Amino acid sequence: MGALHEGHLDLVNQAKKECDIVIVSIFVNPTQFNNSEDFANYPVTISKDLNLLERYFVDVVFLPSVNTMYPDTTSLTFDFGPLERILEGAFRPGHFNGVGIIVSKLFNHIRPHRAYFGQKDLQQVAIIRALTKDLSFPIELIVVPTKRDSDGLAMSSRNLRLSPRERKAALILPTSLTQAKNELLSGRDWLEIQSQIKFDFEESPLAKLEYFELVHTDSVTIMTHLENGSHVSICVAAYIGTIRLIDNLPIIY
């Protein structure tokens, strides 16, 4: 959705290594925002983005208008079942319907052979994987690891809206993920870990936790303990001031 950072450029770099032509779409999609204020304040830096993509030798930038993508009111709705009713879906009703609509439109306009997405939006990746499978899109999905700043905070366009004080407070997200991962792998009970993390967030004056969950990485099914051979991730969403941030950390056990 624009306001590009190094995490987006990691997607570009991997695509350039593996594909003949790289297309980047930039579109702030109104139908995936369930908060009008969040949509209105989402950072838009088109000139900067285009200059950046030119320096990275991107072949095509698809920069459609809202009227191009939504010439008429969309009557179609997606229902991704239990997958869209937990975590992000529970706190952002309608969000994944908007994601499903716009990704389907982008896939139909561009018709890529491969599509690259960031791991930071773990549940979105699962939604798009289900969408691609159920609608038989002949597209290979590539998931690229989360890019972080030197202090551990996951790169996000929304980070641009954080004040210096909020930026520092936001480190509770990666810190809590790392702490929980280490304690989980050391054998501590997940529910005890989760309870401690919730308390830590309550003690932070600028942070308000929405969820902190252990999930199966592919299905995003909520789990209460590690299982041998399982690929799991810890997912977090929290407000820092008025800015909502998400993050996750994968664990292979």
Is the residue at 55 inside a domain? yes
pLDDT bin (cut points 50, 70, 90) of residue 129 is: very high
- Give domain status of residue 152, yes or no: no
Give the pLDDT mean for 106-135.
97
Does residue 123 sit in the same domain as residue 173? no
* Residues with active-site annotation: 8
* Residues 91 and 179 both lie in one domain: no
37 falls within a domain: yes
pLDDT of residue 37: 87
Same-domain check for residues 130 and 17: yes
pLDDT tens-place string over residues 27-70: 999 999 988 889 999 999 999 999 999 999 999 999 999 999 99
CA gap 59, 21 in Å, rounded: 6
Decide if 12 is inside a domain.
yes
178 found inside a domain: yes
Per-residue pLDDT, averaged over 239-244, amounts to: 97
Q: Quick one: tokens of 107?
A: 């896939």
Residue pLDDT, tens place only, 96-118: 999 999 999 999 999 999 999 99
CATH number at 50 reads 3.40.50.620
SS3 of residue 121 by DSSP: coil
133 and 22 in a single domain? The answer is yes
- Integer angstrom CA distances of residue 46 from 51, 52, 54: 9, 10, 12
Where does a domain end: 110, 144, 178?
144
Q: What CATH number did the domain enclosing 170 receive?
A: 3.30.1300.10
- Determine, yes or no, domain membership for 63: yes
Both 95 and 11 in one domain: the answer is yes
Cβ neighbours around 20 below 10 Å, total: 7
Judgement on whether residues 84 and 59 belong to the same structural domain of the protein: yes
Q: Are 117 and 26 in a shared domain?
A: yes
| Same-domain check for residues 41 and 110 | yes
Task: Look at residue 238 in the predicted model and tell me its pLDDT.
Answer: 98
Q: Is residue 203 part of a domain?
A: yes
Query: 98 and 177: one domain?
Result: no
Name, in order, each residue with C-beta under 8 angstroms of 212's C-beta and a sequence gap of 6 or more.
Answer: 176, 180, 194, 197, 198, 201, 234, 235, 236
28 and 109 inside one domain: yes
Q: What is the number of domains present in the chain?
A: 2
Q: Could you tell me which of 100, 93, 111, 8 has the C-alpha nearest to residue 56?
A: 8
**Predicted confidence band at 237 (pLDDT cuts at 50, 70, 90)?**
very high
**162-214: pLDDT as tens digits:** 999 999 999 999 999 999 999 999 999 999 999 999 999 999 999 999 999 99
Which residue range is the domain that position 162 belongs to? 157-252
User: Are 25 and 135 members of one domain?
Assistant: yes
- Of 144, 177, 192, the residue at which a domain comes to its end is 144
Amino acid 210: pLDDT = 98
Mean pLDDT taken over the chain = 96
Q: Are residues 99 and 23 in the same domain?
A: yes
Q: Which of 171, 191, 164 has the alpha carbon at shortest distance from 199? A: 191
- pTM above threshold 0.85: yes
Q: Does any domain span residue 149?
A: no
